[in-house]
Chain A
Amino acid sequence: MPRRLPKVDVVIVGVGWGGGIIASELTKQGMTVVGLERGKERKTEDYFMVHDELRYALRYELMQDLSKETITFRSNTRIRALPMRSYGSFLLGTGLGGAGVHWNGQTFRFLPYDFEIRSKTIERYGEKKIPEGMTIQDWGITYDQLEPYYDRFEKLCGISGEENPLAGKRSSPYPTPPMKQTPAMKMFAEAAKKLKLHPYMMPSANLSQQYTNPDGVSRAACQYCGYCERFGCEYGAKADPVVTVIPVAKKTGKFEIRTHSHVRRILHTGNKATGVLYTDVTTGEEFEQPADIVVLTSYVFNNARLLLLSKLGRPYDPATGRGVIGKNYAYQVIRGGATGFFEDKEFNLYAGAGSLGMTLDDYNGDNFDHSDLKFLHGASISLSQTGQRPIANNPVPSGTPNWGKEYKAASLKYFNRALGVGAQGASMPFRHHFLDLDPTYRDVFGDPLMRITFDFEEQDRQLAAFTADKCGQILKEMGATHIDVRRELGPYDITPYQSTHNTGGVIMGASPDTSAVNNYLQMWDVENLFVVGASAFPHNSGYNPTDTVGALAYRAAEGIAKYAKGNGGLLV
């Protein structure tokens, strides 16, 4: 029998951005919150030896231990799903701060088009524009409704940026000025302007200058050390939950974090959650933590998986299109880009920051006419200078051998002479892309793994070819002497790293028929259960997801407080 603990107001599952924001907002209002985190404690001192490419970037120091739990993958329902035995396509975070520790800090808002994608697409192009099987739907919230929450998350982080001329309206400017500009970024901006495009400085959580946020947390400016993505920040300059919301919540005395606490089930009676069952992984002991409100704030896969394991909500069935848990899994189309080689110029590419770059949105969302195109949405196009580390970065012109004397000479020559212009493509949901429980493979506790059924579609191939050409044009204008354009997307392959922007599975919307949560991320079927994260995205946009995750977490925190003070029931 699990040991039953005293009841608390709120229990949150996973202490990353979502959990940290919910905890800080609710404890400030006097509620008691317990945060259960399966991984270990983290603090800035841990990163004293962080400039270690092998340990952090190639051996995945900060990531989930796959020997204990992974996901399985198949490209369609006709083949057997097999486990992701080693990391490749995406990296799963764990530990205090979650994936919020090893992100790059690129903090984009989604476009107004995103939130009303179905209505606006039909309005401009007619319903026939949406291909058979593509399950895009409106989010049940508009950009204008979400804007105040974006503003709050950006002020929490101190985002450094400048106005994007093609984005939704902002209620206030970015809290800090943009990051410094490198020569390569200037070349990109000049080339883009010559092509009549609209470049702007990538919005950054790395901090261009010292900043004190509305909670009174001060952080130092970024030092451009070049170790950001996959690494923790030894300066605390990169906004992450451990140096922002978590200490704020702890200071109230109302927030208790229990690390090494792996939640295995949500407990429920009737249509209400009553708490969670978790295992202390250091002792193996099981605990029951009762709570008035349960909030799932783990990564996309575990949010959906916990619901399915706990038999909560209606599982999605791709055969009928009915049910909602596991629906609209989406990803990112990242491979349609180009690399330019510059014979006559060397760049200081070892220097950089996770969110140092120049971006344009002329080919993102519905900012351009899709009438004659065979895809919807688009991509942000960026030149970023995240700090080029030596093991993983060996760009050579196509046709160069992959090893040996010629390879060595070319890889040394071009290490500081190659620039990438990349497209971060939106990912549209399809009826046959979904998450469910794997029938064969199990985690260390014996519970079924999450199974992903996903592949790239014609939509994605068309999009990648289109954006790759645009990236190539910009590099040509920048004066590259040789350009490799990657137009071919191929099938979705789980082995090469692409993006840790997995979305969907517990999506938000205006109706319980087509969505799992309402626009406060409250479950339609279980009113005291909130599910926070990119799991709520009905599709993925042509941007990094964290700003939208943060905004939705603030929105959910408001909803939870409202629910706790009211007489129960659905908030929408």
Chain B
Amino acid sequence: MAQTNEGQEQAVSRRKFLKNSGLVLGGLVVGGVAGSLLRTQAPPPPAAAPAPADFNQALMYFSPEQFRVVDAATERIFPEDENGPGARTLGAAYFIDHQLAGDWGFNARDYMQGPFYPGEATQGYQGRLRRREIFDIGIQEMNNYSTTKYGKRFYELEADQQDAVLKAFEADEVKLTTISASGFFKMLRASTMEGVYADPLYGGNKNMDGWRLKNYPGNQMAYTQVIEQDQFVKMEPKSLRDHQHG
């Protein structure tokens, strides 16, 4: 039996909590939260205007052709169903595009120095290609395989044919020389899930509808009123944007 938390979540409001919390050492504030995060002025109320265009939904890395392949693939990995939206509606392919355009796509914080040797599976990825290059090759190979097998590009196939292509990659039935087909699939699957569930600030999980699918409340400051409850407490999710501007 679900219940809502209306009237409870304000029991410990962030402001009140910060005012009461004493991160104090002999008069010296050690935490610093209390001073700097509190706004003295309330933010202006949101204006009643039509929803603005989503400027985030434009490509930073993929070509339109690449985007069509990835968008179709994410939707098969996490399809729309009676539970609610799938990866396409949630913007997962835009999320992946934006991620590949930045640090993650360049493996900026990974050790990418040589020499490069093939290793044991237990030693992890040992290739010299970066994630954006793996995606480039993987997407091209998905289209190649689809064309060879069905005479159409991946995003033009029927859903069950698309599933068959993805399964062939997942099981390494597609033989590739430059990348591992299953390694690419694993990355595609993992980044699809990230696009479904990461905070909407990254371009996926549109309107927090990914979180709503599994009743995840997003960014909440406190669950002290929930933590001991025997019944499931369903609440409207909040995003990091809400946190910064709310």
A: residues with CB less than 8 A from B are 43-45, 48-49, 51-54, 58-60, 65-67, 69-70, 73-75, 79-80, 82-86, 88, 180-183, 210, 215-220, 223-226, 234-236, 242-243, 247-248, 251, 346-348, 350-352, 356, 389-391, 394, 402-405, 408-409, 411-412, 415-416, 440-442, 491-495
Assembly CA distance A54 to B203 (angstroms): 12
Chain A's nearest CB lies how many Å from the CB of B220? 7
Assembly CA distance A403 to B76 (angstroms): 8
- The reply to whether the CB of B229 lies closer than 8 angstroms to some CB of chain A is yes
A350 near B222: Cβ-Cβ < 8 Å: no
Assembly CA distance A402 to B108 (angstroms): 29
A220 near B122: Cβ-Cβ < 8 Å: no
Which residues 195-230 in B have Cβ within 8 Å of A in the complex?
A: 197-199, 201-202, 210-211, 213-224, 226-230
B111 near A220: Cβ-Cβ < 8 Å: no
Chain A's nearest CB lies how many Å from the CB of B185? 9
B229 near A404: Cβ-Cβ < 8 Å: no
Q: Determine the chain B residues whose CB is within 8 A of the CB of A390 once the complex forms.
A: 197, 210-211, 214, 216
> Given the interface contacts A247-B28, A348-B233, does A180 sit within 8 Å of B227 by beta carbon?
yes
A224 near B224: Cβ-Cβ < 8 Å: yes
A51 near B243: Cβ-Cβ < 8 Å: yes
B122 near A492: Cβ-Cβ < 8 Å: yes
Closest residue of B by beta carbon distance from A48? B37
Assembly CA distance A224 to B32 (angstroms): 20
Closest residue of A by beta carbon distance from B239? A51
Assembly CA distance A236 to B222 (angstroms): 14
Assembly CA distance A86 to B111 (angstroms): 7
- The reply to whether the CB of B144 lies closer than 8 angstroms to some CB of chain A is no
B163 near A79: Cβ-Cβ < 8 Å: no
Q: Determine the chain B residues whose CB is within 8 A of the CB of A403 once the complex forms.
A: 76-78, 166, 189, 192
- Give 23 pairs: A residue, B residue, CB < 8 Å, sorted on A: A44-B30, A44-B32, A51-B199, A51-B243, A67-B112, A85-B126, A182-B227, A217-B25, A223-B12, A223-B17, A224-B223, A224-B226, A225-B223, A351-B223, A390-B216, A403-B192, A408-B81, A411-B214, A412-B83, A415-B216, A416-B232, A492-B122, A495-B125
Assembly CA distance A402 to B215 (angstroms): 21
Q: Determine the chain A residues whose CB is within 8 A of the CB of B222 once the complex forms.
A: 223-225
A415 near B215: Cβ-Cβ < 8 Å: yes
Q: Determine the chain A residues whose CB is within 8 A of the CB of B63 once the complex forms.
A: none
Chain B's nearest CB lies how many Å from the CB of A262? 16
Chain B's nearest CB lies how many Å from the CB of A356? 8
Assembly CA distance A416 to B213 (angstroms): 12
> Given the interface contacts A350-B216, A403-B77, does A493 sit within 8 Å of B199 by beta carbon?
no
Q: CB within 8 A of A391: which of B30, B86, B194, B215?
A: B194
B: residues with CB less than 8 A from A are 2, 12, 17, 20-26, 28, 30-33, 36-37, 76-79, 81, 83, 86, 103-104, 107-113, 115, 117, 119-126, 163, 166, 170, 189, 192-194, 197-199, 201-202, 210-211, 213-224, 226-230, 232-233, 240, 243-244
> Given the interface contacts A236-B33, A351-B223, A441-B113, does A88 sit within 8 Å of B124 by beta carbon?
yes
Interface SS, B side = loop
The 9 closest A-B pairs by CB, nearest first: A351-B223, A220-B21, A223-B222, A346-B232, A390-B197, A51-B219, A54-B198, A236-B31, A415-B214
Q: Determine the chain B residues whose CB is within 8 A of the CB of A348 once the complex forms.
A: 223, 226-227, 229, 232-233
B119 near A216: Cβ-Cβ < 8 Å: no
Q: Determine the chain A residues whose CB is within 8 A of the CB of B199 once the complex forms.
A: 51-54
Chain A's nearest CB lies how many Å from the CB of B75? 10
Counting chain A CB atoms within 10 Å of each CB, the highest count among B110, B124, B126, B240 belongs to: B124
A59 near B223: Cβ-Cβ < 8 Å: no
Chain B's nearest CB lies how many Å from the CB of A48? 6
B12 near A51: Cβ-Cβ < 8 Å: no
Assembly CA distance A405 to B159 (angstroms): 11
Q: Determine the chain A residues whose CB is within 8 A of the CB of B30 once the complex forms.
A: 44, 217, 236, 242-243, 247
Counting chain B CB atoms within 10 Å of each CB, the highest count among A70, A82, A440 belongs to: A82
Q: Determine the chain A residues whose CB is within 8 A of the CB of B217 once the complex forms.
A: 350
Chain A's nearest CB lies how many Å from the CB of B225? 9
A219 near B123: Cβ-Cβ < 8 Å: no
Assembly CA distance A389 to B214 (angstroms): 11
Q: Determine the chain A residues whose CB is within 8 A of the CB of B120 once the complex forms.
A: 75, 79
> Given the interface contacts A85-B112, A225-B222, does A75 sit within 8 Å of B202 by beta carbon?
no
Q: Determine the chain B residues whose CB is within 8 A of the CB of A251 once the complex forms.
A: 25-26, 28
> Given the interface contacts A51-B219, A494-B124, does A210 sit within 8 Å of B22 by beta carbon?
yes
Closest residue of B by beta carbon distance from A72? B123
Q: Determine the chain A residues whose CB is within 8 A of the CB of B214 once the complex forms.
A: 390, 411-412, 415-416
> Given the interface contacts A52-B240, A405-B81, does A85 sit within 8 Å of B223 by beta carbon?
no
Assembly CA distance A346 to B199 (angstroms): 24
Closest residue of B by beta carbon distance from A66? B111
Closest residue of A by beta carbon distance from B116? A82
Q: Determine the chain A residues whose CB is within 8 A of the CB of B2 once the complex forms.
A: 346
Counting chain A CB atoms within 10 Å of each CB, the highest count among B78, B221, B228 belongs to: B228
